């Protein structure tokens, strides 16, 4: 059996542009993980494996959005319940193969006496004392090998797919006994009949594994888990981290095109809608609406640039942000100051992003300011007093590894204050 954990990182990890497949492919039992250019690959194996696990977990942001997957077709093959794979492997390492142990009660048998049950029997009176001759003993026995078999089955799937991420690779082999439907039925029955929290967690993770695999895939040595590109995942992480408004409220911020089609030119038909990634409201000296657009571009993963704007959002993206600003300022948040922000990923350890190079201005250890974009058609023949603040798209980088690890914790308000203060200075100087 090949020891996957000894494979060199060069053979396991392949850094690609984020518009390519992102995820994991296993061919003939050999794994290869495809990550964005901005993903930092640690030289330390233990840290590298932790980062890969977090990266694979982040893909669930796409898979959990059923509507997005349905519309985009962005999923590739199986849906992997990574959390459940990790839980089962950890459970196995700590406790071994799960055995369904049940309590049995027998009269006058070896084992621990269950006094509560024993005193229910009829005692004998002797010399003024109550004497119990029929003892009820409690014995723990392993039963229902169907659950044990199913546990091994789930463990086998988990180790084949991500077992190589652990320092010791183990091979779980099982002989096919039950169909997938039979195993699911048995686990669901066991789940409904227990109140033990650990058992319930174990059975739920087993069900997550069983309901996301088919019999053919289990026996295959080829597996794929990933998305066609990483854009949506990055957008969702930024939205969560920057604490954007809820999805139901976001619909107010979607501008639509309209068509009036001959010969009934007085009848309008809505065209497709534009959807900003994140909206955040701030109320301080003034009321602000920030339109935050997450751009999964490669600028932050390039060691060198062939030209200054390589890997940055193009004019169409700049125009879209200005359109959002126009729409929101005029029709949605008319009493607020509207501003635009681009957020791009980067690897903060790349040499050109070190502070001594002077190419960026760090807001904190993981967020840096790089400049702003604007459309020259908006600025020509317009005096400064008539310019809208949303005509400038202020652009920041966020360390991708940091975001993958911390997006659910949300950005601290004090950090966003630093971002807004930087924008205030730039606005006043332009």
Q: Could you report the average pLDDT of every consecutive run of 10 residues in the chain (430 residues)? A: 47 87 87 94 90 94 78 64 91 86 54 59 58 55 72 89 73 77 93 92 94 70 85 96 93 92 91 93 92 96 94 96 95 95 97 81 95 87 69 97 96 94 90
Q: Which helix (H) or strand (E) holds 342?
A: strand 337-346
Instruction: Give the pLDDT of residue 141.
Output: 46
Buried b (16+ CB within 10 A) or exposed e, 112-139: eebeeebeeeeeeeeeeeeeeeebbbee
Which residue reads 């492919």 in tokens? 25
Instruction: Give the pLDDT of residue 377.
Output: 86
Nearest to 407 by CA among 363, 343, 354, 352: 343
Instruction: Give the pLDDT of residue 381.
Output: 55
CB distance 403 to 265 below 8 Å:
no
Instruction: Give the pLDDT of residue 296.
Output: 96
Instruction: Give the pLDDT of residue 2.
Output: 35
Instruction: Give the pLDDT of residue 106.
Output: 52
Sheet containing strand 392-399, strands side by side: 278-283, 287-294, 337-346, 392-399, 367-374, 361-362
Angle among Cα 231, 235, 237 to the nearest 5 degrees reads 120
Nearest to 118 by CA among 136, 102, 145: 136
- Residue by residue, DSSP assigns 239-250 as HHHTTPPPHHHH
Q: Residue 52 and residue 85: Cα distance in Å, rounded?
A: 14
Nearest to 13 by CA among 21, 2, 24: 24
Instruction: Give the pLDDT of residue 307.
Output: 94
CB distance 215 to 180 below 8 Å:
yes
pTM: 0.83
Alpha carbon of 222 to those of 58, 80, 102, 398, 405: distances in Å? 22, 14, 38, 34, 28
Nearest to 1 by CA among 172, 152, 157: 172
Q: 10 Å Cβ neighbour count for 193? A: 9
- Cα-based torsion angle of the residue sequence 54, 59, 60, 62 in order, rounded to the nearest 10 degrees: 150
């Amino acid at each position: 059996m090949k020891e996957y954990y000894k494979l060199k990182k060069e053979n396991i990890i392949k850094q690609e542009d984020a518009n390519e497949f992102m995820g994991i492919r296993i061919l003939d039992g050999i794994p290869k993980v495809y990550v964005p250019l901005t993903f930092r690959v640690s030289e330390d194996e233990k840290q590298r494996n932790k980062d890969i696990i977090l990266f694979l977990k982040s893909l669930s942001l796409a898979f959990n959005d059923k509507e997005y997957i349905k519309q985009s077709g962005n999923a590739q093959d199986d849906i992997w319940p990574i959390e459940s794979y990790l839980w089962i492997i950890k459970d196995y390492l700590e406790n071994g193969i799960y055995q369904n142990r049940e309590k049995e009660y027998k009269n006058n048998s070896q084992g621990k006496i269950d006094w509560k049950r024993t005193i229910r029997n009829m005692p004998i009176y002797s010399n003024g004392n109550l004497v119990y001759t029929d003892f009820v003993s409690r014995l723990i026995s392993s039963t229902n090998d169907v659950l044990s078999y199913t546990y091994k089955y789930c463990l086998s799937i988990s180790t084949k797919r991500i077992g190589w991420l652990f320092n010791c690779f183990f091979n779980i082999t099982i002989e096919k006994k039950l169909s997938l439907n039979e195993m699911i039925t048995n686990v669901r029955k066991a789940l409904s009949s227990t109140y033990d929290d650990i058992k319930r967690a174990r059975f739920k993770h087993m069900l997550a594994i069983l309901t996301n695999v088919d019999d053919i895939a289990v026996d295959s040595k080829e597996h794929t888990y990933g998305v066609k590109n990483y854009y949506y995942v990055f957008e969702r992480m930024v939205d969560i981290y920057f604490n954007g408004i809820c999805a139901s409220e976001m619909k107010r911020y979607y501008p639509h095109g309209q068509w009036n089609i001959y010969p009934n030119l007085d009848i309008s038909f809505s065209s497709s809608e534009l959807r900003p990634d994140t909206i955040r409201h701030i109320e301080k000296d003034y009321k602000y609406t920030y339109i935050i657009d997450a751009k999964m571009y490669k600028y932050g993963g390039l060691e060198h640039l062939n030209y200054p704007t390589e890997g940055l959002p193009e004019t169409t993206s700049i125009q879209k942000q200005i359109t959002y600003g126009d729409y929101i300022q005029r029709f949605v948040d008319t009493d607020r100051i509207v501003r635009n922000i681009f957020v791009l990923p980067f690897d903060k350890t790349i040499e050109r992003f070190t502070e001594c190079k002077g190419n960026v201005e760090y807001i904190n250890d993981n967020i840096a300011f790089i400049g702003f974009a604007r459309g020259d058609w908006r600025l020509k023949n317009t005096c400064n007093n008539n310019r809208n603040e949303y005509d400038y798209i202020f652009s920041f980088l966020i360390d991708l590894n940091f975001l993958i690890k911390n997006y659910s914790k949300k950005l601290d308000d004090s950090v966003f204050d630093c971002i807004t203060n930087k924008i205030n200075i730039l606005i006043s100087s332009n």
